[in-house]
Structure 1
Amino acid sequence: MTSSRLPGKVLQPIAGQPLLHYHLDHLRAAGQPVFLAITNKATDNPLADFAAQAGIPLTRGSEEDVLSRYWTCAQEHDLDIIVRVTSDCPLLDGQLIGEGIAEYIRLANPRLYLSNVLERTFPRGLDFEIFSRELLNKAFQESTLPSDREHVTPYIHQNRSGSVEFQHITRTPDASHYRLTVDTADDFELIRVLIEQYQAQYLSTSQLITVLESHPELVALNAHVEQKKA
């Protein structure tokens, strides 16, 4: 709720529903339990209320040490596999995430990190990372840099332990130049237009990309926004 560039963004309404509603609706298409890991600050109490109303299990913890929040959530709910997504991505692809989970389970490798992030070919805002509790435990125990604790997975995906293996989910053609995450007011405006005028909440990733390809004026709404660096 205390986002530096757009405070309260995940509860901002579009077509009568908060951004987080669309995020959750898409995420449930992955067919797996969803957990919300938020800060223990009073400013995040509205998110706790949202979780209670939506029936989502909740973990609260440090604002700065997000890695500890993930670790605590995995401990509390005895999770063997963790899928990391961020809540400012209301149009993420739950079906794609579900396919990623199925592939991860098929490979049955606790040292595997599977994502569509390191080799980026999907629009920003469809990001997901899948890793084992074993890798999460190692990161929690051994990460010391503040940036590692804040961004959860650098220790894993930078292979600091030297034992991580990688699998990448990619698409052709490359659509990584599109931006469907919400960091700024201009990002929010694009999502608002896509939902209110193009029913984006019901579109597949391929259909969303087709809309963006056909309407450069929409892409221009947030083309200038730079992603914050970790």
Structure 2
Amino acid sequence: MRYAIYLSVRNKAKRFPGKVLKIVKGKTITEHLIDRLKLSTKVSQIVLCTSTNPDDDILVDIAKKNRIDYFRGSEDDKLDRYLSAASKFSTDFIIVVDGDDVFCDPELIDMCVSEFEQTGADYIIVKDAPLGATPFCIKREALEKVCKTKMQTNTEVWGGLFTERKEFKKSFVVPKKNLQRPEIRLTLDYKQDFELIEKIFNALYQENRPITLEAIVDLVTGNPELLEINKDAQLLYEEHLRESQKEK
């Protein structure tokens, strides 16, 4: 059984252009995320999954610089991109990490792999963790079934294609009690999200010492004003999704 982390990232953001290339503490957001993913104790392969668009050449350069694999596929159909990558790398269980989620927690990745080893689930998610700290995990066979039957060619939002199908075995993991803070938004969609991320790095970052999710939760718990920085971002994102659905 072959596991791999697929870092799903593109350089095409309209709401906050260039967000995954923003520099914090001398590295791009994408490089900081790669550093975190390398801390997984259960998954050694990381594949940067991007598109064939020339705008994404710089992301391939980052993958090469950081000595991880990469794959280039569909611009808009993420699921097709993942399946094509799985075919190339013979991946059986895919841990998808979004490029916006610079604080994705490697311990939660390992928990998801352990859950898969115990249950063989087709689709695994993390419940109640801070937004942006979690992976989404798919068994390759389930991904193949979805790609054969789906009507969408744009799969920016794809979770429902798995959760709404009864034939798939679904499972979830829950973080430690003190990390069950879904109201904390750590993903990167808007400028105000980046402002919070910068403040977290400025407060906690030490070279060669990863910022733990626990340290982040402790920081914002002790400094609740930090959560005011991007408190409106989730509403903005939900409005964006509604408008996107109208256009389809």
Q: TM-score, normalised by structure 2?
A: 0.84
Counterpart for residue 187 of structure 1: 193
Instruction: Report 1:11-30 matches (<5 A).
Output: 11-30=21-40
Instruction: Report 1:1-230 matches (<5 A).
Output: 1-31=11-41, 32=43, 33-107=45-119, 109=120, 111-116=121-126, 120-147=127-154, 149-159=155-165, 162-171=166-175, 172=177, 174-199=180-205, 202-226=210-234, 227-228=237-238, 229=241
The residue identity in structure 2 corresponding to 1:206 is E
Q: How many residues align?
A: 222
Distance, in Å, in 1 between the alignment partners of 2:174 and 2:72 is 33
The residue identity in structure 2 corresponding to 1:96 is L
The residue identity in structure 2 corresponding to 1:42 is P
The residue identity in structure 2 corresponding to 1:156 is F
Higher mean C-alpha displacement, 149-158 vs 26-35: 149-158
> Contact between 2:31 and 2:62, CA under 8 Å: does it hold in 1?
no
Higher mean C-alpha displacement, 204-213 vs 76-85: 204-213
The residue identity in structure 2 corresponding to 1:205 is L
**CA shift at 1:176, angstroms?**
0.4
Distance, in Å, in 1 between the alignment partners of 2:163 and 2:70 is 26
SS of residue in 2 equivalent to 1:82: strand
**CA shift at 1:85, angstroms?**
1.1
Distance, in Å, in 2 between the alignment partners of 1:9 and 1:138 is 33
SS of residue in 1 equivalent to 2:233: coil
> Contact between 2:104 and 2:132, CA under 8 Å: does it hold in 1?
yes
SS of residue in 2 equivalent to 1:151: coil
The residue identity in structure 1 corresponding to 2:160 is P
SS of residue in 2 equivalent to 1:134: helix
> Contact between 1:100 and 1:114, CA under 8 Å: does it hold in 2?
yes
In structure 2, runs of 5+ residues without a counterpart are 1-10
Distance, in Å, in 1 between the alignment partners of 2:57 and 2:133 is 26
**CA shift at 1:182, angstroms?**
0.6
Q: Map Cα deviations across residues 174-224 of structure 1 (whole Å, 9 max, x no partner).
A: 410010011011101111110122228733222211111111121111111
**CA shift at 1:157, angstroms?**
2.0
SS of residue in 1 equivalent to 2:170: strand
Distance, in Å, in 2 between the alignment partners of 1:112 and 1:66 is 18
> Contact between 1:67 and 1:151, CA under 8 Å: does it hold in 2?
no
Q: TM-score, normalised by structure 1?
A: 0.90
Q: Give the RMSD, CA atoms, in angstroms.
A: 1.7
Distance, in Å, in 2 between the alignment partners of 1:202 and 1:61 is 31
The residue identity in structure 2 corresponding to 1:135 is A
Q: Map Cα deviations across residues 143-196 of structure 1 (whole Å, 9 max, x no partner).
A: 11245x33344311222xx21122121243541001001101110111111012
Identity percentage over the alignment? 24
**CA shift at 1:29, angstroms?**
1.5
